[in-house]
Chains A and B, each alone.
Chain A
């Protein structure tokens, strides 16, 4: 997975997350409400880990998996979490 996602672009980040979650759950992206907890969709811990690993690759950031999974359980909360990450992004 090549890095090509802009962490500062909220809507791009949100739609990428919805697409990726929809992929793991094998259901259409428009069925993923950004404010609904991902466990409601049956998102299990393994796919959560896969999703976060995908994000690390895509954004070039380091993510605390425990913190992200438990503290930021929806798409929009994950977006907030990512946007608030310390400036460890490439190019800064």
Chain B
């Protein structure tokens, strides 16, 4: 491992070293065995025991419950390292974290202890919320949890649910009254025979070997203290819980982008056509560089949001939806475009990287679908936009302080102390990140006037000016809409544009707040020029791509491919 973007990467670096080179072969986390497992619809033999030996499963349990889950950004980097190899296993543990989070956030001491014991001994958990007929429509939940003899009687059919068959503990959403939905923690081992029935594994496009199945409860008798938190706030709890794992899904996308980029790059370096490596063909090089830029944009967007779980959990309702929308759809484009570079090799279940490209492509297809589809996330964002635009004033001292903590990745955040009441269903218009755009642009201008102006400073300011115009027009459009319908096509489109602006200010602030520390090509800002150009293109603007910066980044890619560096902003060469 090379340079660090953040001390939160240290743990992930150790995990990456432990798992070894995925191209080397012969281990449960090398592509040959990963593809063989996928072909057999099984997890590679010893995959779970290998990462349990390292202690990966302890990252699902907060430090205060005896585990190693300290911060979400630390977990996110580790999850990226795992997803780079096998997203199926990342999803298996991600589903467990999703089920466990309500217990960490609202559970009783007993529930926390029992679940921690189970997970620390390698067990899985599942989130029994979805019902076959209701999808994201939680309010239509039919499962019932009826008070009886000092306990509860549970009747529910939950499908499709990750880990439903393999998990011992199930976090269930069910009706406790005419209008009331509540969460309960169910220990299958405590139920009588016949009270629980598992539904068959669902056949899926990707994630082969993952237990995506279902669980039914028939007159299951639960103890009187089975509820997780207070009765009647189940929907609030589910929506808050999703904010955390939605952010973690972006890490899965970053891992897959990282993996396919290496595959495409390795192929372009090795493959010789027309007398040269295909990396020498301008359009091939351009495409790979542009996908690396997408990875930068994904990193800059995701990392501050993951830090917000500790620093500003009240903002995650909006920010987690932005990460969950933007990063998976960006990664989907990258996977597609790298596939174009690889040509026929992307279609083979053998050959380059043992044929892992198509497995990652199929696995990653879930990222924009689960825990709120692309449209569901855009709708959540759209709902909040009028309030965000109305209060998009200049950040005050407190806001600037928060921004610094979110974006200066050089400092580790404090440990997470789960508390459901600190998460919110909506931001109430508060969004320090996009409100910071004018301030960030002024900081960039000041740099250009300063004693050591960054190499790409003038180009950055030119791109900022164009983004400022688009931002003003978007805000005007939103403010001028008399009756904002967040499910309208216009509102959903505006939400997509807002996400691009969120990403742009994230890239700019990551640059401003880390350039003194990282120096070199990072501080020069060529990567930022390319990132802002890519975001302008996303906003429908025709931009001539900067060939000089592309050539620089192409060189860095080539160099990185040889050194097997991490594909991250921190791997840009030092000055």
Contact = CB atoms under 8 A, between A and B. Distances in A.
B243 to A, nearest CB: 11
Contact size class for B?
20 to 34
Given A42-B317, A46-B139, A49-B179, A26 B233 contact: yes
Given A26-B236, A26-B237, A40-B387, A46 B426 contact: no
B426 A40 contact: yes
Nearest to B179: A50
A41 B425 contact: yes
Contacts, number: 49
Given A46-B139, A49-B179, A50-B179, A25 B425 contact: yes
A27 interface: yes
B424 A23 contact: no
Interface in B420-460: 420-426, 428-429
Interface in B543-558: none
Nearest to B235: A46
A28 B180 CA distance: 20
A10 interface: no
Contact of A50 (B232, B423, B428): B232
A11 interface: no
B465 interface: no
Contacts of B421: 26-28
A42 B64 CA distance: 30
Interface in B245-276: none
A43 B426 CA distance: 8
Interface in A47-90: 47, 49-50, 53
A12 to B, nearest CB: 22
Contacts of B179: 46, 49-50, 53
A81 B420 CA distance: 32
A42 B235 contact: no
A49 B232 CA distance: 13
B230 interface: yes
B240 interface: yes
Of listed B237, B387, B424, B425, residue having the most chain A CB within 10 A: B425
A39 B484 CA distance: 13
B428 A23 contact: no
A42 B425 contact: yes
Contacts of A25: 236, 424-425
Interface string B364-395: 00000000000000000000000100000000
A35 B317 CA distance: 22
A41 B232 contact: no
A26 B387 contact: no
A24 B426 contact: no
A25 B556 CA distance: 49
Given A40-B387, A46-B139, A24 B236 contact: yes
A24 B428 contact: no
For the complex of A and B, the 4 pairs showing the least CB-CB separation, nearest first, are A42-B425, A42-B426, A40-B428, A26-B236
Interface of A: 23-28, 36, 39-44, 46-47, 49-50, 53
19 contacts: A23-B230, A24-B233, A25-B236, A25-B424, A26-B233, A26-B237, A26-B420, A27-B424, A41-B424, A41-B428, A42-B424, A42-B426, A43-B425, A44-B235, A44-B425, A46-B235, A49-B179, A50-B179, A50-B180
Given A23-B230, A24-B236, 9 more contacts: A23-B233, A25-B236, A41-B424, A41-B428, A42-B239, A44-B425, A47-B235, A49-B179, A50-B232
